[in-house]
Structure 1
Amino acid sequence: MSKSRIYQGDVPYQQGQNTKIVGLRILENVDRILNKNGYGHCPKFLRQWLTAEAICAWVIGEFDDDPNLARETDFKKWWAAIQPDAVLSQSTPKAICSSAANLTKFITKSLNKEVGIDCHYVSGFARDFDTGSVPDNSNHSWVCFDFDGGIQVPADTVSHGDPKATRRKWKGKHLGSVVLTLTRESWEAFLSYHWGVVTCEDGKWEKFPVDKKDAFSNLNKSEWANLQLPLPSYLQLLNKCHSSPFGLPR
């Protein structure tokens, strides 16, 4: 992950703080920026979206990769290491996709009362961005935010990188094709390269490999794996078979 400062009002990492404290510090900066720009009474959705962006930006900006945890084969040790308290207890903040996603989820959930936003842990499969090849086993984790009005948008804070086919200026946002996607093209890029289901809800963990309908388009893994790349095959399929991704109008 990058150490670049990608969000105004960055909140420095402090060892030992819990998710609620981190969340409130991030939200304080979001509200400060909104007030500074004359949006003290902004729409609920805008505040939710900016809060989600700020949380993702904080995780991306403050945490480096953790190669040791990535190599951990003991499930109990891995499970303990990805819990928010363990992640936030580190003197040097490091994370892998699962710990970053879990941390993003719990920081967001800690602000549900203040902002009315929810977040889910998603695990599954990520294609190789350059070749489009599909892994045999589950290899990645990310999150899905639930916004006002039932709108769901994913965010991958430890992405394998933007695919070459869609590498461009995503409205100036870092990793804009995989973090809270804003355009049809970026939705397509995300959905074509990610397949996963919501897991680890209410203390229950799905067994791997996951093999049911994915969280965003109701495709099973074999259907997703057989998608023809490069794009735009995925959106064409969605147009024929399913409603708009994330509940947004086409």
Structure 2
Amino acid sequence: MDLEYVRNVGIAAAYEGGGILRSCLGNLSSIGKKGAIDLVTEADLGSEKQIIQTIRSRFPDHAVLAEESGENPGEPDCQWIIDPLDGTTNYAHQIPIFAVSIAFSYREEVVVGVVLNPVSGELFTAVKGKGAELNGRAIHVSESRDVSESLLVTGFPYDFKEIIDSVMGRFKSCLRASRGVRRLGAAALDLCFVACGRFDGFWEENLKPWDTAAGMVIAAEAGGRVTDFKGKAFDVQDREILATNGSIHREMMSLLALKEKK
């Protein structure tokens, strides 16, 4: 499997989807709901359609898992995992913190990640074993050694009202211990910002594979550590994700675990 070619196809698809997002930004005719606060727009749908079309034009037999259309069967060893618009709520409010997220899984292991912010023009990419890049330049996680010196980022799941006590408990614990906590509203970018050292750690729960697949391989290839809250190597089907620069990982696990005991 030529993973460099796979990455290049992923990049091409991301730019195709990103072009649709840019053209629709501020020009939405309607905004639908998949849940109480889980939005969907014609931009999500148009971007996904174009991304899949671009990928299928090169790899017609590959399987696809996409946020809006679900599973599209194909060769079981080769699967593309697509979020055509990560950060839909930001997008709907014209906040330019959103991205196209595309990952490629080979034999059930995510080996390629592509995340594009079509407004800023920042393109994050990674191929397993080859490192991570931002607009073609190598990136690496931060060197912070302690949470007290760290800037963290998190997100709140769509069902946060059902688990509000644990969500806010963890948030409070990490806020007290760190230099600060941000909430951007786009998990793929959160992971990429850990990868390039803007944040030192990220945690969230109840995400979907398309939210994390691309960003997790980018963070890992940039030298980060990505696990669940208890330290098990992260799988895209997991419900908890903790990504850090590695140095603060154990301390972050302790902060998150404390909330489970209350």
Q: TM-score, normalised by structure 1?
A: 0.37
Q: TM-score, normalised by structure 2?
A: 0.36
Higher strand share: 2
